[in-house]
Copies of this chain bind each other. A is one copy, B any other.
Amino acid sequence: MAESISTLRVNSDRMLDMFNKLALIGATGDGGVSRVTFSGAHLAARKWFREQIERSGLDFSMDGAGNYSATLTCDCSNAQTLLLGSHLDSVPNGGRFDGALGVIAALEVLRTVKENGIMLKVNLEAIDFTDEEGTLVGLLGSAALAGHLHLDGLKNPRGGRENLEAGMARAGLTDESMLAAARPKGSLAGYLELHIEQGNRLERNGINVGVVSAIVGIRSYRLSFIGRADHAGSTLMTDRADASLGASAFTLAAREIVMKDFPNCVVNVGKMEFTPGAFNIVPALVNVALEFRAPSDEEFDQVGSALLVCAEMEAQRFGLALKKEFLGSHSPSLASEKIKTAFVDACNGLGLTHIPLISGAGHDGQSLVDMCPIGMIFVPSVDGASHAPREFTKWEDCVNGANVLLQAVIKLGTE
């Protein structure tokens, strides 16, 4: 039995057929998909997912956060659940691999375990989490499941309350159902996710699998550099309090600081908004959208202080005031040693090369890290493309990832 289990593989053709059918739902015609949370295409993908679950003889369920699940119950009483999954929503005009691959692979693992009659000590659940990408809230389904959701967050979502309300109505959900989706603390044995790498470290180094050691923490601020609106023709250059200067100097300095002192961290100024924003008026106010990421709590605090001190200094240098508005934070999340070991053993058993990787992107595992052990694996993404129609992973790599997931699940589920 041990021998036959270690040679067990997912059904590559069946999985490819599922993957291709899913990629048609919300297809944008350029290889990508657009399935933003609770859009018609997103709900159609979920309907299709439910049909696949039911046809496979697995149990379907939907919770109050709209998470769709396939469950394969074990015979043990009071068994914990080993959760596998990802998400079927996409960014607008995104790719067909991000999220979708993880959901399809999770379902394929359950089908393979079921049809081979593998007896595990845990229930298996393949989950499609709601709104991982954050069109509405971000990591919404996993936060709800973990009990991290609060009414405040639902009332002021980043995608706008009106959009969230309309979306929830289309999906048959409410604030109340969302808040009621929290599961009991000890119910999960772990959370495992397969995802494409959003970067090119695996491809560049010719490695099959990345075993995620941590998901970076993400913190965001709105920095407001505040000067004075003046006539851009008649005000002497030396008499201006030009908000664009503080914002520009900060943008350049932030990059220098991170590259020089924080090699594991990244920083992004994704947007500036100018007020009043006219050709002929000196900018009175520039709002800067700042986001930075770090893999450990220590680096997170250090890089955060360094950036905010820098913003103060640049504001002062140009005679500006500075307002710092904290917008939100996810702490860095460490992967469980046990799950990492299971992934590494699976790679070795399958003859696949692997390296540890830090995930620079956020994932649903972050929501669950306080609730159960988490772990993720990445497979190579061509050119490191992600969140774009050109996103592509060779099918062989997708199948490798699914087999690593399968073997890790069997190991963790039989211990």
Q: List the interface of chain A (C-beta within 8 A of B).
A: 197-200, 216, 218, 220, 229, 231-239, 242, 244-245, 247-249, 251-252, 255, 258-259, 266-272, 274, 277-283, 289-291, 293, 327, 359-362, 384, 386-388
Contacts and interface: CB of A to CB of B under 8 A. Distances in A.
A232 B199 contact: no
A251 B245 contact: yes
Nearest to A197: B234
Contacts of A242: 255, 268
Number of copies: 2
Given A231-B387, A252-B252, A279-B290, 19 more contacts: A197-B234, A198-B235, A199-B235, A229-B387, A232-B266, A234-B359, A234-B361, A234-B386, A236-B266, A237-B258, A242-B255, A244-B269, A268-B282, A270-B278, A271-B274, A271-B283, A272-B272, A277-B289, A279-B291
A270 B280 contact: yes
A231 B270 contact: no
Contacts of A268: 232, 242, 279-282
Contact of A270 (B267, B277, B388): B277
A216 B242 CA distance: 21
A246 to B, nearest CB: 10
A138 B157 CA distance: 41
Contacts of A362: 233
Contacts of A247: 248
A259 B220 CA distance: 35
Nearest to A218: B233
A279 B220 contact: yes
A267 B245 CA distance: 12
A218 to B, nearest CB: 7
B258 A283 contact: no
A261 to B, nearest CB: 12
Contacts of A216: 233
Nearest to A233: B360
Contact of A229 (B245, B384, B388): B388
Contacts of A386: 231, 234
A407 B52 CA distance: 91
Contacts of A327: 279
Contacts of A271: 274, 277-279, 283
